[in-house]
Amino acid sequence: MNIAVIGTGYVGLVTGVGFAETGNAVICVDVDVSKIDRLKRNKIPIYEPGLEPMVRRNQDEGRLSFTTDVATAVEAADIVFIAVGTPQDEDGSADLRHVLDVATVVGQHMNRPKIVVTKSTVPVGTAEKVRAAVAAQTKVGFAVASNPEFLKEGAAVQDFMKPDRVVLGVDDSETEATLRELYEPFVRTGNPILFMDIPSAEFTKYAANAMLATRITLMNQFADLCERVGANVEHVRLGIGTDERIGRAFLFPGPGYGGSCFPKDVKALVSTARGAGFPLELLESVDRVNEAHKHVPFAKVKASLGGSVRGRTIALWGLAFKAQTDDMRDSSSLIFIAEALAQGATLRVHDPKAMDEARRRLGSTVSYVESPYEALEGADALVVLTEWQEYRVLDHERAKKLLKSPVVVDGRNLYDPARMRKAGFTYASIGRI
Ligand SMILES: NC(=O)c1ccc[n+]([C@@H]2O[C@H](COP(=O)([O-])OP(=O)(O)OC[C@H]3O[C@@H](n4cnc5c(N)ncnc54)[C@H](O)[C@@H]3O)[C@@H](O)[C@H]2O)c1
């Protein structure tokens, strides 16, 4: 099949490469000239394990190309995927400007019937807006569909190539048949392709993220309560995760959820619900509680340093919102850094993959170091905010030698509290005493 993917970010790039990998002819489009130039040279603008060799192979074998020329890409395509960003608007709703701009351009280049698929995360009703924006530009017949994406950054290739399920909102049988054929190679082990009406598909993506964000937030609140009543959230996590009805995934307490999706999608669903005259009070609390919880690591380091960080140096391990990505969008590290700087601390930061992104966002407000232990040199405390593998075993002796005072705040519960204390650290984590 001939496919155009418009928007070559985390989702668009992985989608385009995934479809090329299964034998389709794919053109990926972006307005970002430098991103496209780099991709043409097989340089991947994001850190995503496994992506580079697939881009290279599919480009070399002629199934995948990159362009800023949306007209050519749309005209060559039978199926157009819209995968541009849907950031948070000022009122919390999803900003559909990019999606609808693309729909207009697609309409302008509708040289023959096509399927226009929205892959971006968009509120219920957006497919109809896309349909109207395309139709305003053309008399050629076309179909719309909704295909929300569930990939996880850091495991995006694996998730796209072997999805738990594919959700497709369609309203005609021909489109259903075409999209089934496109996705069948990805579900050969029997995972389902779930066809449904378009509004339900649009809703499903928000429902999934809202459910996961709620689960994390509830665990974070359990953690905070555990500290106050003398329980250990790690035991509680195992105790409930082994209940089949609950399951083990997504129960780790931490420094508050971040990333490019949960915060904005929770807010967008809250906004949709308010607009529908049916406020989702539970989800509104989740959003509020999560924002508050993001301040917990800073409060802990401040308390461990005697109530003030002024003039102190803090070593920070982990800037990305989670491990295996360089994405810092809405990362709790940003809250930590802003608060620490505002209260007079100096920061020495490290992340295995997000240093370029951090330099772009933070400029010269913090010091960047090349290795984790370099961050500890002369620091008053170590704070860990991302669960990167390389942070999981702390060299106690080395850390104590480098730190001015042996204070460790572990926002990911990587270390054992008893062992840390025995080794002489002043140690705080999330939900464990
Ligand atoms: N990142 C994720 O993990 C993830 C997972 C599932 C769904 N989503 C959703 O997918 C969508 C894309 O997310 P992302 O993380 O890939 O975003 P992103 O910011 O990484 O990429 C979006 C890309 O679209 C490009 N773009 C914007 N306007 C354009 C236009 N008019 N024409 C062509 N290109 C244009 C931008 O230059 C950018 O490269 C969002 O709706 C997001 O909520 C993201």
What would the pLDDT profile of 26-54 be if each residue is shown by its tens digit?
A: 999 999 999 999 999 999 999 999 999 99
In the DSSP assignment, the letter for residue 262 is H
Q: Are 148 and 204 in contact (CB under 8 A)?
A: yes
- Whether residue 433 is predicted with pLDDT greater than 90 in this model: the reply is no
Percent of the chain at pLDDT above 70? 100
By most ligand atoms within 8 Å of CB, the mutation choice from 11, 31, 330 for ligand 1 is 11
Radius of gyration of the chain (CA): 23
Token representation of residue 158: 């694996």
3-state secondary structure 181-198: HHHHHHHCCCCCEEEECH
Q: Which residue has the tokens 């489009």?
A: 29
* CA atoms 186, 187, 192, 195: torsion sign: positive
Q: Is the CB of 159 under 6 A from ligand 1?
A: no
- In sequence order, which residues have a C-beta less than 8 Å from that of residue 248 and are 6 or more positions away? 241, 242
Q: Is 261 a catalytic residue?
A: yes
Q: Is 257 helix (H, G, I), strand (E, B) or coil?
A: coil
Q: Is the CB of 432 under 6 A from ligand 1?
A: no
Residues found in the chain: 433
CA of 394 to the centre of ligand 1 (A): 36
Average pLDDT across the chain, whole number? 97
Q: Which amino acid is at 371?
A: S
What would the pLDDT profile of 304-327 be if each residue is shown by its tens digit?
A: 999 999 999 999 999 999 999 999
Q: Which residues pair with 2 in a beta bridge?
A: 25
- Whether residue 302 is predicted with pLDDT greater than 90 in this model: the reply is yes
Q: Is the CB of 86 under 6 A from ligand 1?
A: yes
End-to-end, the C-alpha distance of the chain in Å comes to 57
In the DSSP assignment, the letter for residue 47 is -
Residue 246, pLDDT score? 97
Please compute the mean of the pLDDT values over residues 248-270 and round it to a whole number. 97
Spatial distance between the Cα atoms of 99 and 87, rounded to a whole number of angstroms: 11
Percent of the chain at pLDDT above 90? 100
Q: Is the CB of 84 under 6 A from ligand 1?
A: yes
Token representation of residue 16: 């385009």
By most ligand atoms within 8 Å of CB, the mutation choice from 84, 106, 164 for ligand 1 is 84
Residue 180, pLDDT score? 98
> Max Cα separation, the chain?
75
Please compute the mean of the pLDDT values over residues 224-248 and round it to a whole number. 97
Select which of 115, 261, 301, 316 is catalytic: 261
What would the pLDDT profile of 333-374 be if each residue is shown by its tens digit?
A: 999 999 999 999 999 999 999 999 999 999 999 999 999 999
Please compute the mean of the pLDDT values over residues 126-130 and round it to a whole number. 98
Residue 159, pLDDT score? 98
Spatial distance between the Cα atoms of 20 and 215, rounded to a whole number of angstroms: 35
Token representation of residue 34: 């430098």
Please compute the mean of the pLDDT values over residues 263-278 and round it to a whole number. 97
Q: Is the CB of 149 under 6 A from ligand 1?
A: yes
Residue 349, pLDDT score? 98
Spatial distance between the Cα atoms of 96 and 261, rounded to a whole number of angstroms: 15
pTM recorded for the entire structure: 0.96
Q: Is the CB of 12 under 6 A from ligand 1?
A: yes
Measured by CA distance, the residue closest to atom 15 of ligand 1 is 10
Residue 17, pLDDT score? 98
Count of Cβ atoms closer than 10 Å to residue 38 Cβ: 14
Spatial distance between the Cα atoms of 209 and 214, rounded to a whole number of angstroms: 8
